[in-house]
Amino acid sequence: MLDQLPLLPADPILGLAAAARADDNPNKVDLTVGIYMDEQGLCPVFDAVQRAQRQLVEEETTKAYMPASGDAAFNTGIQKLVFGEDSAPLLAGRISSIQTPGGCGALRIGAEVIAAAVPGAKVWVSDPTWPVHIPLLGSVGLKFENYRYYEPDSHGVNFDAMVDDLKQAQAGDVVLLHGCCHNPCGADLSLEQWGVVADMAENQGFLPFIDIAYQGLGDGLDADAAGLRLLAARLPEMIVAASSSKNLGLYRERTGATLFLCRDGNSAAALQSQAQVAARRVYSMPPAHGAIIAGKVLTDPALRASWEAELQGMCQRINALRSQIRHQLEAATDRDFGFIEREKGMFSFLGLSKEQAQKLRNEHSVYMLDSSRINVAGVNARNIDALAAAVGQVVKG
């Protein structure tokens, strides 16, 4: 039976990352996988995370299962982080959450709950979006429509087209939005544009489903959640998928949460129960290690202050890198790359063709996706010159 299954191709992003690792060129540049890298090319461990981890090892007395909803401190901390300490819906008891295996688990549990409410619901997804959104949500039977989002010519959001497309969204539909630091294009909505989306959700009755995986890596923790919080202040219902992989560096610990904004406390409790039942049939029980660490960092004042300072430094480094990349690419190509500075977070399309991206890999060992999407945080002082020189050669032919 099993030997009838064919060999499937590698994931396009992970496959490229594997090719980069196998490249023996000492000057190779790997800008493929979306992981924050420091100046040494390493994915760092936050000092606050290290301290919390030591506390956990010293204090842990059992390996019994976690509660079905996950670590209580983590749930409290992530709710306040996403919606704000003084969030009116939070204070009114209208928000519940469940800890999940990473942001992917958060998206899947959100999809399970949507499918329970409206089987085969239509989900409107930005063009482009993170490629894994479709299989994560579609595997429960949800259907998809695209709304126009990124405009390659302007390297920005085509908001008029987005609005035109979303005018077709109806009550019972879901609109998937990137909370900040759009993956893969880095072009975000302005607060005014978030207000327009809120107007449309109120008038048309669609449900926003917000994926916020990079809070703190655009303009800061509060600024990056401003659009989401605007919706929360105005709408009766919303689902949020949050990840601690990027802003707490807990990639391998798979720590995330699905959060539910509901009409009242009774509905919030009902949605949490639906999520717990969905989790039971998908992965049964939540993992402990990362969530306990994150809960300590988010709720302990000293650890929280240390973490926020380090995260702010990472955010500032990314924004400084954007400026450096822009100027070096402009010098090497005589093209305008000003859009790189206007974007937010870890990703940007360089505006190169598929053939140019492949030429960069084959002839210069510079690895980026065929779309020319790069991980900005993969650039550092040791490889930025090689990146700019290679792009200059390819662009100028």
Q: Note the pLDDT of residue 132.
A: 93
State yes or no: is 246 an active-site residue: yes
Angle between helix 47-59 and 289-299 (nearest 10): 120
Q: What are phi and psi of 86, to 5 degrees?
A: -105, 25
Cβ burial, residue 68 (10 Å; 0-12/13-18/19+): middle
Q: Note the pLDDT of residue 232.
A: 98
Neighbours of 141 (CB within 10 A): 12
Report pLDDT digits (tens) over 274-285: 999 999 999 999
Average pLDDT, integer, range 283-299: 97
Q: Note the pLDDT of residue 11.
A: 87
Report pLDDT digits (tens) over 182-206: 999 999 999 999 999 999 999 999 9
Cβ burial, residue 391 (10 Å; 0-12/13-18/19+): buried
Q: Note the pLDDT of residue 302.
A: 98
Task: Name the catalytic one among 28, 124, 194, 246.
Answer: 246
Boundaries of CATH 3.40.640.10 in the chain? Answer: 66-299
The highest-level CATH class for domain 66-299 is alpha beta
pLDDT over 90 at 10, yes or no: no
Report pLDDT digits (tens) over 209-266: 999 999 999 999 999 999 999 999 999 999 999 999 999 999 999 999 999 999 999 9
pLDDT over 90 at 370, yes or no: yes
Q: Which of 7-21, 63-77, 113-127, 279-293 has the lowest mean pLDDT?
A: 7-21
Helices (H), the chain: 12-22, 47-59, 72-83, 88-91, 102-117, 133-138, 159-166, 191-204, 221-224, 226-234, 265-282, 289-299, 301-333, 339-342, 354-364, 384-396
State yes or no: is 86 an active-site residue: no
Contacts of 313 (CB under 8 A, 6+ apart): none
Boundaries of CATH 3.90.1150.10 in the chain? Answer: 2-45+304-396
Using left for φ > 0, alpha for ψ between -120 and 50, and beta otherwise, residue 30 falls in beta
Q: What pTM was estimated for this model as a whole? A: 0.96
CATH architecture for the domain at 2-45+304-396? Alpha-Beta Complex (3.90)
pLDDT over 90 at 207, yes or no: yes
Instruction: For residues 289 and 335, give the distance between their C-alpha atoms in angstroms, rounded to a whole number.
Output: 47
Instruction: For residues 115 and 120, give the distance between their C-alpha atoms in angstroms, rounded to a whole number.
Output: 6
pLDDT over 90 at 12, yes or no: no
Q: Note the pLDDT of residue 397.
A: 79
SS3 279: helix
Average pLDDT, integer, range 356-363: 96
Q: Note the pLDDT of residue 191.
A: 98
Instruction: For residues 16 and 361, give the distance between their C-alpha atoms in angstroms, rounded to a whole number.
Output: 10
Task: Name the catalytic one among 130, 165, 224, 296.
Answer: 130
Instruction: For residues 195 and 191, give the distance between their C-alpha atoms in angstroms, rounded to a whole number.
Output: 6
Report pLDDT digits (tens) over 30-80: 999 899 999 999 999 999 999 999 999 999 999 999 999 999 999 999 999
